[in-house]
Amino acid sequence: MWLYRVLLFLLTPVILLKVRKFKKNYEHYRAKEALGFWPVVEADLWVHCASVGEVLAVRPLVTQWRAKYPSKRLLITTMTPTGAEQVQKAFPFAEHRYLPMDWRCSVKKAFKNLVCKRLVIVETELWPNLLQQAKRHGLRIDVVNARLSDRSFQRYQKFSIVSRPLFALPDCFLAHAQADGSRFEALGAKKVLVTGSIKFDLNVPPEVLQANWRGQLGSRFVWVGGSTHQGEDDMLLRIHKSLQQKYPDALLILVPRHPERFDAVQQLASQHFERVTLRTQTPLDQWANFDVVIGDSMGELIHYYQASDLVFVGGSLIKRGGHNPIEPALLGKAILVGPYTFNFLDITDQLLQVNGAIRCQDEAQLGKVVIDLAGQASQRFRLGQTAMRFAEKNQGAVTRVLSEMDFR
């Protein structure tokens, strides 16, 4: 742990700049909590979600837990203000705190004002000082939807003197898949159970279907670049330029993964097209006047997916590792991914094996497939239906997690 603490000390200026940036950009951000100054909070269950993605992922679990234990008190922590906004929307009954930065003094300060005996960490957000203090205060620690890519596994193995004690702290890892479970065991986890991904148990909210963005966009071809990263947007815009040569009224909805990139992506799109707008500035009934819409809203990715005929799942054309394809699958959308999907390797590989998605190795192949599928509604339908059946078949992880954890 001494090595970790030295590195953390050296990174202190960077961390403080991040806190300052959050404070400047988000009025509701409570910087004192990030430094460990928590108001007193009592809870029966504490769920930690790093940001928006984890908050959305844990919805099925929290919903079923709440239905089973309606009188229990829930605390949810996030690192980011955008995650906090999602907590307020999804779980208005929950208490929210910003997780203290992982300095030992900040974590200890926060725990002095916490009364709770159970911590659930969503995915693999393992902070050494946080875990150590949780154990010292007698909390049971479970890591749900736990996943670990082979690349991350190799990194942890190189620093086993630090990682093995870290992975021994949680009481149980409830893993995505057998490959993840084997990696956790190899890194010293005490108990590992393979329960599947709770993200499959997501139900498409009725309001998404009722809003029916796709139905409001008419007969034009609409495709989405969801959760894109720097380096991908330019490729998708070039593909869209080629697509419009054959289908002039085609619409691209670009949804950057990180909100700080919204303006930059709008500027980039404006270099390629004259008719570019932001979702927050233009009503849906006026999208027909544009070539590209930038999805600059938080928590609406599933609406963007519903609005589309074809979905490209971002983070996969570059070495970011790809994002979750389950939401577009549950909506019955035709799905395309790039060559780099190691963040969701098992899910994506299984989806590809059943022909519920198409992998494109580079920009050229992606462009060809997009243009081909734009004119093949029946093929898009077959892809989407296969993806939907795959997603529905894999549901049930939440029930297994609740059964294994016995939240009483």
| CA 300/CA 313 separation, integer angstroms | 15
- As separate numbers, helices (DSSP H) first and strands (DSSP E) second, the chain gives 21, 16
Give all strands (DSSP E) within 267-355, no chain letters: 276-278, 292-294, 310-313, 334-337
Give all strands (DSSP E) within 13-139, no chain letters: 41-42, 45-48, 74-78, 95-98, 114-115, 118-122
| Contact between 402 and 61 (Cβ < 8 Å) | yes
| CA 85/CA 91 separation, integer angstroms | 10
Q: Which residues contact 321 (CB under 8 A, 6 or more apart)?
A: 149, 151, 315, 340, 341, 342, 343, 344
Query: Pick the catalytic residue: 27, 33, 42, 54?
Result: 54
Backbone angles phi, psi at 75, to 5 degrees: -115, 130
185 is catalytic: no
Q: Which residues contact 206 (CB under 8 A, 6 or more apart)?
A: none
Which amino acids are annotated catalytic? 54
